[in-house]
Amino acid sequence: MFGFVGVVSRTEQDLPAFSGSSIQFEKFEFHSKFKIFPEKEDGQTFSCSDGAIVKILGLFFAASKTPKSLSNFEEIADGAFTAFAATPNEFRIYADPCGWRSIYFREEGNLLYITSNIRYLREYLGLQLEPVPERSIDFLCTSFIPGLETLTKDVFELPMGNVLEWKGQNNLVIRDYCRYDTFPKVEKSLPETASELHAICLKNTENIMQTSGKKECTVFLSGGLDSTCALSSAIDIFGLKNVKTISVHFGSDLPNENIYIDEAVKYFGCHHRYLEISPNSFLSEMDNLYKWIDDPIGDPVVMPNYMMNQAIDPKEQLVITGEGGDPCFGGPKNVFMTNSLQYSDIYCNGSNDDFLATCYLESFKRAYDDAAQLSQFSEPTFGGRLDKLHANLNTHLTNLRWESFLDRLLFANKYLKSNSLILPKVQKTTQPFFRYSLSPLFSRAVIEFCARTPIQIKYPSLKEKFILKKAFLGKIPQSIIDREKSGMRVPLRFWQGNKIKAFNKEVLLRKNKALTSKFFNIKEIKALLKHPRPRQGLKSWMLSTFILTAKNLYEPKS
């Protein structure tokens, strides 16, 4: 898994002193210096027939087809990549169609800084990084910072399927090149649609194998539907002997998904490893882990992902996961939203524009209910930021290009959660180990399939992942198809009376009190750590990991 940091300018003399190598865009008068990690992953460079130059880092699924032009590139681009392109008029950066690879940028006069990790801007280019404290309100409400903005001042994230077009001198445009909302619906029979989806998943797995050049892979198994479907695809393409699986549990005294994992392992006959995680095993790793998180992610699943990556053999360089199943095929939180909409008239704010956004935030079940208390900001700053967040969410939740509300919701989840939460949490935990991690269930081909398949075929009567279940019927254990959704659950509440509590106190109050007080209300944090309240464990975890991320970004020497 690669990382990079670079700077582009229209004039060579403006480039800062930095020991990076140049990408050959000079003929269009775009001068650049880049550092790519590891250096051997230098990517591919194409010259299109229209003269444009494209450099691609990462896994580009259409590598065998040289793009004829940039518009042709935009049509065929799929995979987990970052692409740079130059034309006589502009320099472009392409985010991949799913948002597998994070791209952060900062524009300063004649210079455009680009990086895969925000901290590289400080470490390699000497830029001063500062937080925008009020963006912590977004984090409290969602457990991440959705959209273009990041916690860092003047640093933005390029959304999935978007291209940044830069002409220099503050002339910057961001454009959606995938336009999923323009796909017309195609009516097909259920068996036809299901087999099409299965074929797409297999093709994705084949693409992952070919572009990564790896003959073996490790599948992260959770016992749920998505990861089992990913395992089935991996075995079909890589062959049983080349597929290993790993899962986590939190000790025999705590609930786990081992029954379903056992069933999957027995069904496929693959080589499996169980990894037990406890506070003793991960607390010492927290600092190392959150160094890699560029923009706060409060989801506790980051930790088991990292621990699994750490546990597997360094020679195993490709990880397959089941990410993307929920935003593509429908998770349980959609029911909360559709029921809210059905009964909207009973609520006093039911006819307000913000009603949907409010429900969406409530459905996250994070710290939205306590955000006003936990935040150090009071009105009008708090309300103003919340309004901005609502507006950002409403852009997707009220996109009338989608006829069905459920389509609107599914695509909102892709743009908001996948791009800023689900995929970064995979990418940032595999990057320290120089591994690739992808999912056969989440690619441009899958998203386009979802865009053109009518709701009544892919998600009838809100039946969770209906079409995915049909696609893998007979190919995975029936008990996993029939089981209820559970999700990976980290037992934070059970650990509260344990070392985690001391850890939270240390991070939030003892070591970083001044930093914590920039974002959060210290008195309320003390109350949160002391007295039980709904989702106490999750909320304290969110705050502690936020501070670890902020410390590594803005006060690394403290």
Partner 1 sequence: MICPACSKVIKHKVASTWGSETLKCIYCGYVFAIDPKTMGFGDRRVLKVADKLSKGGQRYFTEQQLACACLLKKERSPQFMSIFIWFVAGFVATFVIVAGAMEAPPGLGLFIVALIMGLFCALVGFSQKPTNKIWSGVQRYCQKKGHPFLITPTGAKAIIDRLLKKDKLSFDDFHPEKALIVDDVEFVALLLLNNFHRDSNCLVLDVNNVSGPFYDYFVKRQTSDEKLDVFAVHDGGKTEEVMVAQIKNNSKWIGCEEITDLGLTREALSNYKRGTWINELTGTITNHNPKKIDEKYISNSVYPIDCIPPDKLNMSLHACMASGCVMLSPEMFAAIGTGSSHNSGGDGNNSYDSSSSGNSSYDSGTGGGAGFDDFG
How many whole angstroms separate alpha carbon 119 and alpha carbon 132? 15
- When the beta carbons of 403 and 506 are compared against partner 1, the nearer one is 403
- When the beta carbons of 153 and 485 are compared against partner 1, the nearer one is 485
- When the beta carbons of 147 and 300 are compared against partner 1, the nearer one is 300
Three-state SS for 36? strand
Give every CB contact of residue 269 below 8 A, 6+ residues apart in sequence. 240
- Least distance CB 532 / partner 1 (angstroms): 4
Paired with 7 in beta bridges are 33, 113
How many whole angstroms separate alpha carbon 442 and alpha carbon 449? 11
DSSP letter, residue 117: S
Label residues 208-223 b or e (16+ Cβ within 10 Å = b). Answer: bbebbebebbbbbbbb
How many whole angstroms separate alpha carbon 401 and alpha carbon 530? 48
- When the beta carbons of 102 and 340 are compared against partner 1, the nearer one is 340
Give every CB contact of residue 71 below 8 A, 6+ residues apart in sequence. none
Q: Is 93 in the site for partner 1 (CB under 8 A)?
A: no
Q: Is 326 in the site for partner 1 (CB under 8 A)?
A: yes
Among 115, 162, 222, 545, binds partner 1 (CB under 8 A): 222
- When the beta carbons of 6 and 298 are compared against partner 1, the nearer one is 298
- Least distance CB 41 / partner 1 (angstroms): 29
Among 67, 327, 424, 440, binds partner 1 (CB under 8 A): 327
Paired with 84 in beta bridges are 55, 93
Q: Is 530 in the site for partner 1 (CB under 8 A)?
A: no
Among 342, 400, 474, 557, binds partner 1 (CB under 8 A): 342
**Which residues between 236 and 295 bind partner 1 (CB under 8 A)?**
255
How many whole angstroms separate alpha carbon 220 and alpha carbon 305? 9
* Token reading at 68: 């004829």
Using the contact rule CB under 8 A, the part of the chain among 60-68, 204-212, 390-398, 478-486 near partner 1 is: 478-486
Among 73, 220, 519, 541, binds partner 1 (CB under 8 A): 541
- When the beta carbons of 203 and 469 are compared against partner 1, the nearer one is 469
- Sheet with 217-220, strands from edge to edge, namely 271-276, 243-249, 217-220, 318-320, 436-438
* Token reading at 210: 């070919």
How many whole angstroms separate alpha carbon 235 and alpha carbon 175? 38
Among 43, 67, 97, 325, binds partner 1 (CB under 8 A): 325
How many whole angstroms separate alpha carbon 371 and alpha carbon 22? 45
Radius of gyration in angstroms for the set of CA atoms belonging to the chain, rounded to a whole number:
23
Q: Is 483 in the site for partner 1 (CB under 8 A)?
A: no
Looking up tokens 């704010």 gives 349
The 403-442 site mask, x for binding partner 1 (CB under 8 A), equals -xxx------x---x---xx--x-----------------
- Least distance CB 173 / partner 1 (angstroms): 31
Using the contact rule CB under 8 A, the part of the chain among 25-33, 240-248, 299-307, 502-510 near partner 1 is: 299-307
Q: Are 341 and 405 in contact (CB under 8 A)?
A: yes
- When the beta carbons of 46 and 250 are compared against partner 1, the nearer one is 250
* Token reading at 107: 């524009």
Q: Is 537 in the site for partner 1 (CB under 8 A)?
A: yes
Using the contact rule CB under 8 A, the part of the chain among 5-13, 173-181, 430-438, 482-490 near partner 1 is: 482-490
- Least distance CB 330 / partner 1 (angstroms): 10
The 354-383 site mask, x for binding partner 1 (CB under 8 A), equals --------x--x---x--------------
How many whole angstroms separate alpha carbon 57 and alpha carbon 60? 8
How many whole angstroms separate alpha carbon 454 and alpha carbon 245? 34
Q: Is 223 in the site for partner 1 (CB under 8 A)?
A: no
Torsion of CA 366, 370, 372, 374, to 10 degrees: -90
- Least distance CB 167 / partner 1 (angstroms): 38
Return the closest-CA partner of residue 452 out of 97, 196, 185.
185
**Which residues between 485 and 514 bind partner 1 (CB under 8 A)?**
485-494, 496
Among 502, 534, 556, 558, binds partner 1 (CB under 8 A): 534
Q: Within 64-117, where are the H helices? A: 70-76
Among 280, 484, 497, 510, binds partner 1 (CB under 8 A): 484
Contact residues toward partner 1 (CB under 8 A) are 222, 224, 226, 255, 299-301, 323, 325-327, 331-333, 335-336, 338-343, 345-347, 362, 365, 369, 404-406, 413, 417, 421-422, 425, 461-463, 484-494, 496, 532-538, 541
